[in-house]
C-alpha cells in the first residue's frame, strides 16, 4: 500500500476518512457505578487488556482515558514478530501486515575510514532469522494499532468502548478485600474527573473488582499503590521525528543504524505507506540533572543534526507530521501489583500496573509497545479466568511474577544496546571508550530473537510446567510461546498454521501429536486419550466445562496425526474430535490435522516432536507452552489442570 | 474463522452487526440530472464496474438498484482463483481469503458397485493444480463480496453510493449521438421509477454518456436495445439450498460431486464459517415447456431428495437460511452493446449489457458471478479511459468483442458439464446413455484451468498484441492474465508478488525484465529504455501523461533485474525508476525488483523469460498481457500505445 505521498494524513488509509465515523465518536454517558475491571489508560497495554476482556460477554469492563478521543499520531511504531503472532490471536494480523511497513533487512553505517566525515555501509543483515516466526517484523503507527484494538473491543461480546476525557484522581482499596470469592465485593474505589465539554471538573466514583494502571510513565495508579520507577537517571537527549523527505541515502527504505565520526548517531526506520520515515537522532549529551525541557530544542535542531550525520547524503525534509525530544532512561518497578512481596501468601492483588507505568526504557530496540501489549495479554486471560470462576484468584500473583522478570530483561538489554549505540565509533585499537560498530552489529544480531519477542521464557510455575518431557517436543519449549508450524486440516485439506488456532478467547489448548502409526482407531493412544477426556471421571474437560457448555469451551483439544491426510478416515475418528456444538448441535470439523508433507514443512520435524511416542502440548490462553506430557499421561494432565482450574459449577 | 454455529446470521462476521452502520444506510436523495455512467443493477457485474469507476474522482457514476438495500443473502458463492487475483487489484483479496471457505480438494462419489443404492468415494483430486495461481479457489456468500465492493466504491476518489429502490422504466439513445468527442453530450436518457417510502411511483429522468445494464436475466436494458438471450430451453429442475446440518458423510467439508444410482445427483459445496454447506440437488426431469414455478416444489422435497442421494449417509437438516429451485438453461446474446454488427465501423456504443443480462447458464461450474465480474472489470477501465480522454471511444467496441467470446466458451463448457453431470451413471459397457462418473471426473480435471478463470484468452486486437515475441516470455501469454510470481523489492528487500502491483487504477503497466548482465548502469538496455521513456520525443509516457501529472500516472514502468538484490546499487539506478511524485516531489521506491532466489521461486524461470535478452511485458489495466516486446523495441512500444492512446492534453 502506498499513501502519504501527497503529505501526511492520519487515519485509515483505505477510507481516507479523517476523524471517526458516526458510531465511533467518543461516548458521552457517565461511568457506571460498578464494574469488574477498571482499566486506566488507552495505550497499547490497556487496549490489549480490554480487547482480551471483550471476548467475554459476562465481564463488565470500563476503560478510561485522559485524552479526549482516540489518538491519530502515535509515538511507538515497532511491531515485533511475536506481537504479530499475538495480533493473529486477536484476528487482525492481516490488517497490520497489509498496512504496515515490513522490516526485511537492517543495515549498519559507520564513518568511512578513508573520509571519516562521510558515512559508508559497513554491514547488512536479514532483519529476522529464517523460521523464527511465520510473521515479519513490521512498523506501523501506534494509532492504527489502537484502531484495530478498538474494533476488536467494540465488536466483541463484551462490547467495550472507552470513556475519554477521564482522569484518575485517586484509588482506595478496601483493606478487608481479598477473600477471593468472586461474589464478595468490588474492593477498589476510584475517583475520576471528567474534562469533556459540559462536564469539566465533574467527579465520578466507580467501584471495581480490579483496577489496572495502563496510564504510562506518570501513572497515577502506580502512585496510589505506592510503587516507584527506579533506575538510571537519563543524561542523553534524543530527537525523534517522522518526516516526508527526499534523500539520496541508498537505504532510505531500510532500517539503518548510523554512526557518524563526530556528529552523533542516528537510526532510520522506514514507515508505512512507502514515503514516511522515522529518524532517531542523537542530540548533545545533557549535563547531569539537566532536563530536555530546558534545552529549547526545536525540530530545526533535529533536522540539522540529521543532515550532519547523513553526510555525504542529502536529506531534504518536506513535512514533519510529528516530532519529539526525549531522554534515555531505564527504570523499573520491583513489583507490578499492590501486594507487597512479603504478603503474597496472605493477600490477593486487586490493582495492577502495566507497560510504561512499571517499566520505561529507550525506544531504540523498538520494544516498548510490544512489551506493554505483552503485559496486557498476560494479565487479561488471568483476570477473565478468575472473574468467570474458572481459576482461583491466586492465579493473579503470576502476572507480576512473570512480567516483572521480562521487563527486567528488557531493561538490561536496552541499557546495553543504548550504551553501545550512543558510544562514539572506536577510532583504533587503543581507543577504550569508543565502540566498534561491528561489535554493535554483532550484539544486534545476537539479540535478534530477543528483539523479535520470541525469546520470552517464563519460569516454571503452576501455569508453566517444568522441562521433564521437553525431549518429546524439542522445538516447543515449555515457558516460551507456542511456535506455530504449517499443517493440513483433515476435514477440508486446508493448509493452515496450527498456532493460528490459538485465538484470544481465554481457552486452554491441548495439542495431541499422534505417534507414527496412530490413525485415530480405537487401539491408538489418541482414541484412548479422547475417550478418557470425554468420559473419564478425572477428565479435566469434564471437570472444567460448565454443564451445557460446548465441550471445547474451556479446554480445546486438537490432534495432529503423522499420516498424509488422504490416508486417514474422518469417519473413523473419536467422537471428541468431531464435537457437536451450539444450539443446533452442529459438528465442529476443525480439530484434526495432518502434516504438510512438502519439503521442510512437516511439523513433526520442524518442532522436533518424538515420532515414536508423540506427546501432548498444553498451551495457555496467551499462546505460551504450559506443559508437555506423554500422550498417555492422563494423571499428569489431570493434575496440571487441577492445580490451576476450579471445578465447573 | 468459524461462525454460524449457533445458527445463520447475515452480515460481517467480525462485527456481528445486523444491518448497515449509520453511514451506509440507503441514501434518500434524488438522482442527479446527468452523469457520465449510469449502471443499472447492483449485482457482481455492476458493483465491479462501479468499483473500477470509483477510482476516478472526475468520473460521475450513478448506480441504481431495484431492491431497497444491499443484499444479505446471495445466490452465487463460487470465487475462482482468477477472481481473487482481481480482488487483489481492488485491494480486498485478504478480506475474502480470511472469511471465505477454501476449496482445496474435490471428491467424486458414485454408486457402490457392490451395493448400488449406496454411494462410495470413487476419486479425489486437488481442486486447483499447483502453481496455477497464488490464490486458492474459495467460496463466499455473494452478499459479502458485494459488501467489499461497496466499501471500495464508497472509499474511492469517485465516492459512489448506490441509489436503491430504483427501477429502470426505459431508455432512449439520441440517434445523433456518437461523434466521439467527450464534450458532445449525454446521449442516453433513462426514466427510472422510485419505490422507497414517500416516493413510490415517482419517476426520475437522468441523462448519461453511457448506460450499462447489469440488471440480470430479465434485463430491461437488454430489452431496450433490442437484444435477446438465445439458447436452449431448460428442461431440468435443480434445487439449491444452504443448510446447517449434521451428517456422517465423510466429505461434508469438501466439494463433492455425487452420482447416485437411481435418486439423481448432487453437488455439495462447503461454505464459509465452518458449518454451513450448500447442496445442489437434481430434481425430477421436467416435461417439455413445463416450468419450475408450476411444480410446487418445497424445501422439504429438496431435503428428501438429498437424503435419498446421500444414502447410506445421514443428513439431518437443522436450518435452511436460503433455498431456491431453478432450471438449467444456457442462453447468450449475440452482442453485448447497442451497435449492430454491421454498423461497428460507423457507430459508437453507448449502451452495454453485462453478466446475466447477456449470458445465463447453470451454477454447476461456479462460474456465473466470476464471469459477470470479469465483464465489469473489462468494461470499467475502457469507459474510464474514454471518459478521461486517454483513449478514443472506438476502444469501447472491444468490450463486446472480447467478452461475448468468453461467454460463448463458458456456455459451451457449461452445457457439456451439465449434460455429463445430469446423466445417470453408466451401468455397463452396453449403456450408451449413461455417463461414467470417471469420465465426468476426467472432464472436470481437464477443465480445471477454465473453471479457475485462468484460461481466458483474448484474441489479438489493438489492445492485445500478437504472439510475435511470445518466445521472450513463454509463461506470460499475450491475451491471458498476467500470471504473477514472487519478487524482491530492491529498495526495502520486501518479498512481494509482482502481479499485485497491478491495481485497479486504470493504469497500464510496462514490466521490463532485464537481461542477465544488466545492473541498471548507463550502458544497459534498462537505462536506455528509461532514458528514452523519460526524454524521447516519441516516448509513450511523454505523449500520454498530462502536464503536471506524475510520470507513472498513465503508464507505470517497473523493472525486474536478474541479480541478487544485495548486488544491485539503488543509487546507480536510472532516474525514471525512482520517480518523484506528489506535491512534495517525494521519491517512489517501488519500481525496481529482483528475483526471489529461493529454490523454484525465480520469476525468470517460473515465467520462461529469456535471460539473455530480457523483454518488455505490457499489461492492461485489467491485468491481461497486452504485448511482449524486445527490450530495445522503442518503436514497437511507441506504436502500440499510439494505436490505443490519445496524446495528453
**What tens digit of pLDDT does each residue of B46-105 get?**
999 999 999 999 999 999 999 999 988 878 889 999 999 999 999 999 999 999 999 999
Band of pLDDT at residue A184, cut at 50, 70 and 90: low
User: Which among B94, B246, B584 has the least Cβ separation from residue A244?
Assistant: B584
- Provide the mean pLDDT of chain B: 91
**Cβ atoms within 10 Å, residue A428:** 6
Alpha-carbon gap, residue A345 to B407, rounded angstroms: 76
Nearest residue in B to A154, CA atom: B15
* Other Cβ atoms within 10 Å of B282 Cβ, number: 24
| A94, A250, A580 member nearest B570 (Cβ) | A250
H helices present in B79-170, as ranges? 81-89, 93-99, 142-155
Prior bond of A257 cis (ω within 30°): no
Considering only alpha carbons, which residue of chain B is nearest residue A578? B248
Residue of B nearest to A4 (CA): B582
Measured distance CA(A77)–CA(A272) in Å, rounded: 10
ipTM of the complex: 0.93
The shortest C-alpha distance from A95 to chain B (Å) reads 8
Average pLDDT over residues B336-361: 95
Q: Inform me whether the pLDDT recorded for A17 exceeds 50.
A: no
**What average pLDDT does range A212-223 have in this prediction?**
97
Confidence of residue A181 (pLDDT cuts 50, 70, 90): low
Give the span between the Cα atoms of A353 and A363, in whole angstroms: 20
Chain A residues with CB inside 8 Å of B94's CB? Answer: 94, 98
Q: Which residue has the higher pLDDT, A442 or B127?
A: B127
Decide if B21 and A17 are in contact by the 8 Å CB cutoff.
no
- pLDDT bin (cut points 50, 70, 90) of residue B17 is very low
CB contact under 8 A, B6 and A584: yes
Give percent above pLDDT 70 in chain A. Answer: 92
Q: Which residue's C-alpha cell is 532500517?
A: A255
A590 contacts B274? CB cut-off 8 A? yes
Asked if B246 lies within 8 A of A585 by C-beta distance, the reply is yes
Spell out the alpha helix ranges (H) of B34-141: 44-53, 81-89, 93-99
pLDDT value of residue A223 = 97
Q: Angle at Cα B18 formed by Cα B12 and Cα B24, nearest 5°?
A: 80
pLDDT bin (cut points 50, 70, 90) of residue B431 is confident
Q: Which residue has the cell 443404492?
A: B117
Bridge partner residues of A580 (DSSP): A587
List of chain A residues whose C-beta atoms are within 8 Å of the C-beta of residue B569? 250
Q: What interhelical angle do B368-387 and B44-53 show, nearest 10? A: 30
Task: Return the pLDDT at A73.
Answer: 82
pLDDT at A433: 78
Closest CA to B606 of B502, B510, B486: B486
Question: Are B590 and A491 within 8 A, CB to CB?
Answer: no
Of A6, A16, A270, the CB nearest to B155: A16
| Measured torsion, CA atoms of residues A179, A181, A182, A183, in degrees rounded to the nearest 10 | -100
Within B256-367, residue ranges assigned H as helices are 299-310
pLDDT tens, position by position, A285-329: 655 555 566 678 889 989 999 999 999 999 999 999 999 988 777
Nearest partner of B276 among B300, B297, B247, B305, judged by Cα: B247
The residue of chain B with its CA nearest to that of A575 is: B248
Handedness of CA A532, A537, A542, A548 (dihedral sign): positive
| Percentage of residues in chain B having pLDDT higher than 70 | 93
| C-alpha distance from A361 to closest chain B C-alpha (Å) | 28
Q: What is the mean pLDDT of chain A?
A: 91
Report the run of H or E that residue A208 belongs to, with start and end: strand A203-213
3-state secondary structure of A413: helix
Tell me which chain B residues have a C-beta less than 8 angstroms from the C-beta of A507: none
Q: What is the pLDDT of residues A322-371, one digit of tens each?
A: 999 887 778 999 999 999 999 999 999 999 999 999 998 877 677 889 99
Please choose, from the candidates B372, B270, B321, B373, the residue with its C-alpha nearest in 3D space to the C-alpha of residue B72. Answer: B321
pLDDT tens column, A603-644 = 999 999 999 999 999 999 999 999 999 999 999 999 999 999
More reliable by pLDDT, B222 or A421: B222
Distance from CA of B134 to the nearest CA of A (A): 14
Cβ pair B586:A102 closer than 8 A: no
Give the span between the Cα atoms of B560 and B573, in whole angstroms. 12
The tens digit of pLDDT for each residue in A577-587 reads 999 998 899 99
Distance from CA of A575 to the nearest CA of B (A): 11
From A124, A246, A270, residue closest to B586, measured CB to CB: A246
The C-alpha atoms of residue A503 and residue A499 are separated, in whole angstroms, by: 9
Nearest CB neighbour to A494, from listed B23, B104, B493: B104
Which residue of B155, B252, B580 is in closest CB contact with A14?
Answer: B155
CA distance B516 to B614: 7
Determine whether the interchain pair A587/B246 forms a contact, defined as Cβ–Cβ distance below 8 Å.
Answer: yes
Of A7, A105, A580, the CB nearest to B584: A7
User: How many CB atoms neighbour CB A215 within 10 A?
Assistant: 28
User: pLDDT tens, A251-270?
Assistant: 999 999 999 988 889 999 99
Is residue B38 over pLDDT 50? yes
Task: Select the residue from B94, B315, B488, B494 to test the A interface by mutation, using most A Cβ atoms within 10 A.
Answer: B494
Asked if A551 contacts A533 with a C-beta cutoff of 8 angstroms, the reply is no
Torsion, Cα of B539, B545, B547, B552 (10° steps): -100
Look-up: residue for cell 447468450? B332
Got the DSSP string for B183-236?
TS---EEEEEEE-STT-TT-EEEEEEEEEEE---TT-HHHHHTT---EEPPP-E
From CA A494, how far away is CA B649, in angstroms rounded?
52
Nearest C-alpha of chain B: how many angstroms from A105? 7
Nearest chain A residue to B503 by CA: give it: A1
Asked if A616 contacts A532 with a C-beta cutoff of 8 angstroms, the reply is no
d(CA A617, nearest CA chain B) in Å: 23
Q: In whole angstroms, what is the distance from residue A510 CA to residue A525 CA?
A: 14
Helix (H, G, I), strand (E, B) or coil at B84: helix
State whether A102 and B570 contact (CB < 8 Å). Answer: no
For A567, name the nearest residue in chain B, comparing CA atoms only: B124
Which residues of chain A are within 8 Å of residue B159 when distances are taken between CB atoms?
none
DSSP string for residues in A142-203? HHHHHHHHHHHHHHSTT----B-SEEEEEEEE-TT-----TTS---EEEEEEE-STT-TT-E
Residue A52 has pLDDT above 80, yes or no: yes
Q: Could B588 and A124 be called an inter-chain contact, meaning their C-beta atoms sit closer than 8 Å?
A: no
Mutate to test the interface with A, among B18, B587, B597 (most CBs of A within 10 A): B587
Q: Is the CB of B492 less than 8 angstroms away from the CB of A16? A: no
Closest to B160 (Cα-Cα) out of B53, B251, B263: B53
Mean pLDDT value across residues B110-118: 94
Q: Of A150, A173, A175, A169, which is closest to residue A161 (Cα–Cα)?
A: A150
Pairing of strands A61-64, B203-213: unpaired
Q: How many CB atoms lie under 10 A from the CB of residue A262? A: 11
pLDDT at B182: 47
* Digit-coded pLDDT (tens) for A394-421: 999 999 999 999 999 988 888 888 788 8
Q: Is the model's pLDDT at A19 over the cut of 60?
A: no
**Which candidate in A108, A586, A599 is best for mutational testing of the B interface (most B CBs within 10 A)?**
A586
Across the interface, of B250, B275, B494, the residue whose CB is closest to A569 is: B250
DSSP state of A448: H
According to DSSP H, which parts of A472-619 are helical? 525-535, 540-544, 603-606
Return the C-alpha cell found at B482. Answer: 498476467
In this complex, do B584 and A495 lie within 8 Å of one another by their Cβ atoms? Answer: no
* CB-based contact A98 B98, cutoff 8 Å: no
- With beta carbons under 8 A apart, name residues in chain A contacting B151: 14
User: What three-state secondary structure class fits B238?
Assistant: strand
Strand partners, A319: A244
The contacts found for B157-160 with CB under 8 angstroms, 24 or more apart, are B157/B54, B157/B55, B157/B56, B157/B57, B158/B53, B158/B54, B158/B55, B158/B56, B158/B57, B158/B59, B158/B60, B158/B61, B159/B54, B160/B50, B160/B51, B160/B53, B160/B54, B160/B61, B160/B63
The alpha carbon of residue B270 is apart from the nearest alpha carbon of chain A, in Å, by: 9
Which stretch of A134-138, A243-247, B11-15 has the lowest confidence by average pLDDT?
B11-15
Of residues A524 and B441, the one with the higher pLDDT is: A524
pLDDT at B258 over 90: yes
Q: Chain A contacts of B14, Cβ < 8 Å? A: 91, 151, 155
For residue B110, what are the contacts with CB-CB under 8 A and spacing of at least 6? B119, B120, B122, B258, B259, B425, B437
Q: Would you state the pLDDT for residue A444?
A: 80
Q: Do B2 and A105 touch (CB under 8 A)?
A: no
Amino acid at each position: 500500500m502506498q499513501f502519504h505521498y501527497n503529505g501526511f494524513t492520519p487515519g485509515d488509509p483505505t477510507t481516507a476518512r479523517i476523524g471517526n465515523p458516526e458510531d465511533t465518536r467518543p461516548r458521552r454517558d457517565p461511568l457506571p457505578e460498578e464494574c469488574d475491571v477498571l482499566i486506566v489508560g488507552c495505550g497499547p497495554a490497556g487496549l490489549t487488556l480490554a480487547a482480551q476482556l471483550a471476548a467475554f460477554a459476562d465481564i463488565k469492563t470500563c476503560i478510561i482515558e485522559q485524552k479526549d478521543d482516540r489518538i491519530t499520531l502515535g509515538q511507538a511504531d515497532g511491531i515485533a514478530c511475536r506481537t504479530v503472532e499475538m495480533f493473529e490471536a486477536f484476528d487482525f494480523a492481516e490488517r497490520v501486515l497489509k498496512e504496515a511497513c515490513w522490516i526485511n533487512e537492517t543495515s549498519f553505517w559507520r564513518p568511512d575510514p578513508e573520509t571519516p566525515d562521510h558515512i559508508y555501509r559497513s554491514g547488512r543483515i536479514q532483519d529476522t532469522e529464517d523460521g523464527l516466526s511465520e510473521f515479519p517484523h513490521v512498523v506501523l503507527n501506534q494509532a492504527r494499532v489502537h484502531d484495530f484494538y478498538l474494533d476488536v473491543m467494540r465488536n466483541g461480546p463484551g462490547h467495550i468502548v472507552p470513556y475519554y476525557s477521564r482522569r484518575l484522581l485517586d484509588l482506595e482499596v478496601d483493606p478487608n478485600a481479598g477473600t477471593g470469592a468472586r461474589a464478595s465485593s468490588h474492593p477498589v474505589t476510584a475517583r475520576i474527573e471528567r474534562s469533556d465539554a459540559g462536564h469539566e471538573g465533574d467527579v465520578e466514583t466507580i467501584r471495581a473488582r480490579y483496577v489496572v494502571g495502563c496510564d504510562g510513565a506518570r501513572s497515577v495508579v502506580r502512585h496510589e499503590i505506592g510503587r516507584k520507577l527506579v533506575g538510571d537517571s537519563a543524561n542523553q537527549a534524543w530527537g525523534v521525528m517522522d518526516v516526508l523527505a527526499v534523500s539520496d541515502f541508498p537505504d532510505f527504505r531500510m532500517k539503518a543504524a548510523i554512526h557518524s565520526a563526530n556528529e552523533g548517531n542516528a537510526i532510520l526506520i522506514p514507515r508505512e505507506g512507502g514515503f514516511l520515515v522515522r529518524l532517531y537522532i542523537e542530540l548533545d549529551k545533557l549535563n547531569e540533572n539537566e532536563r530536555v525541557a530546558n534545552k529549547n530544542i526545536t525540530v530545526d535542531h533535529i533536522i540539522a543534526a540529521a543532515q550532519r550525520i547523513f553526510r555525504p547524503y542529502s536529506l531534504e525534509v518536506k513535512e514533519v507530521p510529528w516530532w519529539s525530544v526525549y531522554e534515555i532512561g531505564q527504570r523499573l518497578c520491583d513489583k507490578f501489583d499492590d501486594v507487597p512481596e512479603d504478603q503474597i501468601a496472605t493477600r490477593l492483588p486487586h490493582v495492577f500496573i502495566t507497560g510504561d507505568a512499571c517499566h520505561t526504557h529507550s525506544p531504540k530496540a523498538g520494544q516498548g509497545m510490544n512489551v506493554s501489549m505483552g503485559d496486557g495479554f498476560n494479565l487479561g486471560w488471568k483476570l477473565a479466568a478468575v472473574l468467570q470462576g474458572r481459576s482461583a484468584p491466586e492465579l493473579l500473583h503470576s502476572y507480576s511474577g512473570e512480567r516483572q522478570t521480562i521487563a527486567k530483561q528488557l531493561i538490561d538489554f536496552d541499557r546495553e544496546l543504548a550504551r553501545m549505540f550512543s558510544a562514539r565509533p572506536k577510532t583504533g585499537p587503543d581507543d577504550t571508550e569508543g565502540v566498534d560498530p561491528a561489535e554493535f552489529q554483532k550484539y544486534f544480531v545476537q539479540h535478534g530473537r530477543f528483539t523479535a519477542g520470541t525469546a520470552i521464557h517464563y519460569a516454571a510455575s503452576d501455569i508453566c510446567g517444568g522441562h521433564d518431557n521437553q525431549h518429546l517436543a524439542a522445538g516447543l519449549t515449555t515457558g516460551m510461546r507456542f511456535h506455530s508450524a504449517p499443517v493440513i486440516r483433515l476435514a477440508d485439506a486446508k493448509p493452515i498454521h496450527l498456532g493460528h488456532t490459538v485465538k484470544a478467547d481465554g481457552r486452554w489448548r491441548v495439542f495431541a501429536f499422534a505417534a507414527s502409526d496412530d490413525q485415530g482407531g480405537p487401539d491408538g493412544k489418541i482414541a484412548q486419550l479422547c475417550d478418557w477426556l470425554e468420559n473419564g471421571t478425572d477428565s479435566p474437560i469434564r471437570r472444567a466445562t460448565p454443564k451445557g457448555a460446548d465441550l471445547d469451551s474451556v479446554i480445546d483439544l486438537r490432534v495432529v496425526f503423522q499420516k498424509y491426510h488422504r490416508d486417514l478416515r474422518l469417519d473413523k475418528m473419536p467422537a471428541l474430535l468431531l464435537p457437536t456444538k451450539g444450539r443446533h448441535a452442529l459438528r465442529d470439523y476443525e480439530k484434526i490435522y495432518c502434516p504438510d508433507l512438502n519439503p521442510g514443512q512437516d511439523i513433526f520435524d520442524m518442532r522436533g516432536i518424538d515420532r515414536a511416542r508423540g506427546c501432548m502440548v498444553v498451551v495457555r490462553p496467551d499462546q505460551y507452552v504450559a506443559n508437555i506430557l506423554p500422550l498417555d499421561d492422563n494423571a499428569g494432565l489431570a493434575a496440571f489442570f487441577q492445580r490451576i482450574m476450579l471445578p465447573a459449577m
